[in-house]
Structures are given as C-alpha cells and as structure tokens.
Amino acid sequence: MTLPPAPSQTAIPHVDAAERQVRIDLAACYRLVELSGWSDLIATHISARIPGRQEFLINPFGLAFGEITASSLLKVDLDGNLIGPSAYHVNQAGFTIHSAVHQARHDAGCVIHLHTADGMAVSALAEGLLPLNQTAMFLTGDLAYHDYEGPALHLEERARLQRDLGGHSLMILRNHGTLALGASVSEAFVRMHMLERACAAQVRTLAMGRPLHQALQAARSTTESMGAGAMFARYGALSWPALLRKLERESPGYAE
C-alpha cells in the first residue's frame, strides 16, 4: 500500500476568520496531546465544529499527531462528505464517534477521544472512575459510560452513543478509552487533562494494594459544587495561552 506524502506545511486554505481560528486551536490540541504522551500512533481523533455550520474538522488518517497543522486538517459534514481536496481520508471509527456527538450536541465545539494506557485500564473496571481523589470528584457527576460494541465502524452505533452521553461532557467508552467535549477546544482539553489525570491517579492508587481512605461526604459535596461547566471554560481560557507558549517552544509550526 502506497501512502500519500505528508501535506506541505504552507498556508491555511482560504477560509473565514472563525474557521481559521478553530483550525489553529485544533492543530494546537493535537500537538498538546502528542506532547502529553496521550497519542496512539495514528489512531484516536479530535474534532472541532466550524462555528455556524454543520461541518467539523478532524485529522487526516495517516498523519501522526505531532505532524498535524492547521492547514492539513480535513473538513467533513455530518453525512461524512469530505469538503475540499485531500490525499487523505477520515478514519471511519473517528467519523462515527465524532459525528454522533456533533449531531446531537450543538454545544460541543470540540470532542477529544483517546486510548491512553490509564484511560483504557479504568475503562475495563466494572466500577469505572472512582472518587478516590479531588480531581476524580470534580468529574464523576458529569461522567457517562458507553458499553463496548467493537470498533465503531457502523453508523447505527451513533444513536446509542448519543443516548448514553446525554447531557454529560465526559464519557468512558468501556474497554476502549476516554472522551471529553467542550464548547471550545481549550475547554475540551482541560476536561480531558483532568479525566486522564484522575485515571492515572486511580491506577497508581489501586496498584499499591493498601486500604483506601474513603471521603464519601466530601466527594458528594465536591461533585455537586464543581460539576458546572463554567469552571472548565474559565480554566481552559486561563491556561490556553500558556499551553500555546509551550507549543511555540517545543512543537512550533502547528498554526501553518
């Protein structure tokens, strides 16, 4: 099988200012996922809705996350039609999962799906994510679960993904991985950062094999007080400029 060459890193196609900014933020998110050690070769995917349209951007299937730039992102509609020429195509499982969320959740400006080792480990537990630490407690009230049906290659699964996600902003895909969404790319990223951190802490905690300290009353109050999406939007907006400065130092060129 002969693969196409990586797209030339020239300039973002002629788009309006809103799409241009979403492209830059989404490319930055791919690079940050790579720098965080969350990528899975060319698997998994991150999407962002183009404001005011039933179209979203997603990665070209065949590029590593560290290669992705604003100009290389693919644009598709909710029926899976590729908008604009490209030597690449969209991962079918990626389209199924992301189109399901964008189709049902108009507040989902960005959707991140990962297969990290810690996320997959927690996804295989019957109990899922446990309120063992403050970070997990922030999330459990906004966390949904979806049972594994095999690789997400069939569009019929979209209805069940939508049903299970409901109005939540986080999901554990059982025996599979993690998913986070946000109104903006930065909001989705900080949600995923916290979910992955909570999963990693749980894996380490349970591996110690020691008696667990339960803080059930505090866990309930923390979940109730911190479940609102406003915290993640604010935290994302505050942290995003610093994250972009990190990219300029460690992975420049994402905005091309």
- The tens-digit pLDDT sequence of the chain (256 residues) is 444 444 444 467 678 999 999 999 999 999 999 999 999 999 999 999 999 999 999 999 999 999 999 999 999 999 999 998 888 999 999 999 999 999 999 999 999 999 999 999 999 999 999 999 999 999 999 999 999 999 999 999 999 999 999 999 999 999 999 999 999 999 999 999 999 999 999 999 999 999 999 887 777 777 676 655 688 889 899 999 999 999 999 999 999 9
Instruction: Give CA–CA dist 256/254, Å, rounded.
Output: 6
Question: Whole-angstrom Cα distance, residue 150 to residue 176?
Answer: 9
**Single pTM value for the model:** 0.92
Closest CA to 236 of 197, 188, 199, 167: 188
What's the confidence (pLDDT) of residue 221? 75
Amino acid occupying residue 150: G
How many residues in total does the chain contain? 256
Q: Where do the DSSP E strands lie in the chain?
A: 45-49, 55-58, 74-77, 110-114, 143-146, 170-173, 177-182
Lookup result for tokens 């070209």:
60
Sign of the dihedral defined by the CA atoms of residues 64, 67, 70, 75, in that order = negative
What are the DSSP E strand ranges found in 16-117?
45-49, 55-58, 74-77, 110-114
SS3 179: strand
- Please give the domain boundaries of the chain with CATH numbers for all domains: 17-248 (3.40.225.10)
